[in-house]
Structure 1
Amino acid sequence: MTAVKWTAGAPAAAWSTAWRRLRRNTGAVVGLALLLLLLLCALLGPLLGDGAATQDLAARLSGPSAAHLLGTDQLGRDVLTRVLSGARISLGLGMGVMLASLVSGTLVGLIAGLLGGWWDEAIMRVTDIFLAFPSLILAMAISAALGPNLTNVMIAVALVSWPAYARLVRAQVLALREREFVEAARALGGTPGRIALRHLLPNTLTPLLVQGSFDVGSAILTAAGLGFIGFGAQPPTPEWGAMVSETRNYITQAPLASSAPAIAILLTVLAFNLIGDGLRDVFDPRQQR
């Protein structure tokens, strides 16, 4: 067998190649452009101060004007200001949920794959229980039990998102733990923890990166759904799902008040899905031939 010599610059070269492939993917470029626009909106939101909560009942349900580019809602609040402020909330919530579920799911998957036996069986049966429930229904139940607010929404959505990472990492560990480089590390006296961190975990980063990019959009959509039905952010928090819920009864009088946050949700989820599709194409060996 010919030994493979790894150089110090090999990981950097691999990521550089992946970045070049990603830039040639039209969908990923569009997704990145949308994401940059959304990040800019999130940065602009705090600069507006309390504008998202400022009421002007004399101008309620007004159409677009120089003073209010997207009109006002039922309480006379500027729709554009609230949408921009909501970008920070929704993006922060989506990223927070993704990171929490990724870390917890990865840890569970590593333990199950490394230990095997009845540990693996017990952990996977618990994972199956979480997967047996529709994610939105389970998130509703958890949010209702904890109380409706942004922090509890993040906890609820993270609790229904971790099983996907656990199963993904477990599958990768089961495929890799009998490979030659793992056996060599074990023969040299490597502890299970060291083998997991130095040899197994780095080889799961690619599928985790792809899964995480999809799950940010999914988390934002789930949180918006919870906000719409009253289990998420509470008024006057300018969360997009709650904004759609508050203004849905006035859609004929001020259509932008409800359609603007809905379009913001659509564009955000689309951006992360396009990025996820691009990453999957970049790291798919069949696309690299």
Structure 2
Amino acid sequence: MRRNPGAMIGLTLLGLLLVAALLGPGLSGDPAAQDLGARLQAPSGVHLLGTDQLGRDVLARVLNGARISLGLGVSVMLASLLVGSAVGLIAGLRGGWWDEALMRVTDIFLAFPSLILAMAISAALGPSLSNVMIAVALVSWPTYARLIRAQVLALREREFVEAARALGSSQTRVALRHLLPNSLAPLLVQGSFDVGNAILTAAGLGFIGFGAQPPTPEWGAMVSETRNYIGQAPWASSAPAVAILVTVLAFNLLGDGLRDMFDPRAAR
């Protein structure tokens, strides 16, 4: 990783974001506190990133939004990873009609544009942050299912798997002890990319009103709330937009670094 400048930049940015998410909300004050007398103030020593249309401190809202967005992205990735890995392991190991049925269900989810499907699920469940997490997780798991199935098909006839079966290991033990650990490298790479994708999708849903609702300081919702004042107070909408950009960029750079690190051809 140290030999990859992009990966180190991504790690540094993620470290700063984690510090901001953990320590920022306690130092920046209440993100919902309103002061109509100080509405749309430009950045200053009192408000480092200015204020929005309700006089709320933009820096406080961005820092609190970091905790929400990072938690949402990681939670969605973990949920998608668990569901997709289970589906992929069963399809790859059992084969036959299990494989056909599970992969056809996966194809149905992959047939729809992910953002459109997430919008439909969010609209059906109702606009809220928890429903956004469910919607984004539901459109993200097929990628992991396809990935883990391909890994299982490539590994299940290898000598170490045959040896485990010959020693009496059950299918479950073979899957969890031998197949899944040897499939972690591509899963980690895909997971690092998907955290950024989940944050971006959730921000898009928040922007159009299907995600977090006011006064929750979610970055996409913040951009939506302040978009009508972009000419008068560009800092109110640009600050959360830049936060989304930096966060997604950091996870993408980290994913590129992990892919190069796990690729033996790149190592040579």
Q: CA deviation at 1:185?
A: 1.0
Partner of 2:59: 80
The amino acid of 1:126's aligned partner reads: V
Question: Given that residues 177 and 200 in structure 1 are in contact (C-alpha distance below 8 angstroms), is that contact kept between their aligned partners in structure 2?
Answer: yes
Alignment counterpart, residue 265 of structure 1, candidates 241, 244, 259: 244
Question: Given that residues 110 and 169 in structure 1 are in contact (C-alpha distance below 8 angstroms), is that contact kept between their aligned partners in structure 2?
Answer: yes
Q: 1:137-286 alignment to 2 at 5 Å?
A: 137-286=116-265
Partner of 2:48: 69
- Listed one character per residue, the Cα deviations across residues 73-128 of structure 1 (whole Å, up to 9, x for unaligned) are 00000001100110000000000000000011001100000000010000000000
The amino acid of 1:171's aligned partner reads: A
Partner of 1:10: none
Q: CA deviation at 1:48?
A: 4.2
- Listed one character per residue, the Cα deviations across residues 229-282 of structure 1 (whole Å, up to 9, x for unaligned) are 000000000000000000000001110000000000000000000000000001
Moved more, 180-189 or 69-78: 180-189
- TM-score normalized by structure 1? 0.91
Q: Does the C-alpha gap of structure 1 residues 49 and 26 become closer, same or farther in structure 2, counting only changes over 3 Å?
A: closer
- TM-score normalized by structure 2? 0.98
Partner of 2:83: 104
- Specify the SS of the correspondent of 2:180: helix
Flag structure 2 segments of 5+ consecutive residues without an equivalent.
Answer: none
Question: Aligned equivalents of 2:124 and 2:244: distance in 1?
Answer: 26
Partner of 2:96: 117
Q: CA deviation at 1:155?
A: 0.5
Question: Aligned equivalents of 2:27 and 2:216: distance in 1?
Answer: 14
Q: CA deviation at 1:200?
A: 0.4
The amino acid of 1:43's aligned partner reads: L
Aligned residues: 268
Question: Aligned equivalents of 1:119 and 1:92: distance in 2?
Answer: 34
The amino acid of 1:241's aligned partner reads: G
Question: Given that residues 28 and 59 in structure 2 are in contact (C-alpha distance below 8 angstroms), is that contact kept between their aligned partners in structure 1?
Answer: no
Question: Given that residues 29 and 60 in structure 2 are in contact (C-alpha distance below 8 angstroms), is that contact kept between their aligned partners in structure 1?
Answer: no
Question: Aligned equivalents of 1:245 and 1:48: distance in 2?
Answer: 25
The amino acid of 2:208's aligned partner reads: I
- Listed one character per residue, the Cα deviations across residues 137-185 of structure 1 (whole Å, up to 9, x for unaligned) are 1001111111111111101000000000000000000011111111111
- Identity percentage of aligned residues: 82
The amino acid of 1:143's aligned partner reads: S
The amino acid of 2:196's aligned partner reads: G
Question: Aligned equivalents of 2:238 and 2:29: distance in 1?
Answer: 22
**Runs of 4+ residues over 4 Å off in structure 1:** none
Flag structure 1 segments of 5+ consecutive residues without an equivalent.
Answer: 1-21
Question: Aligned equivalents of 2:153 and 2:44: distance in 1?
Answer: 60
Question: Given that residues 70 and 78 in structure 1 are in contact (C-alpha distance below 8 angstroms), is that contact kept between their aligned partners in structure 2?
Answer: yes
Partner of 1:126: 105
What's the RMSD between the two structures over aligned residues?
A: 0.9
Moved more, 48-57 or 205-214: 48-57
Question: Given that residues 25 and 60 in structure 2 are in contact (C-alpha distance below 8 angstroms), is that contact kept between their aligned partners in structure 1?
Answer: no
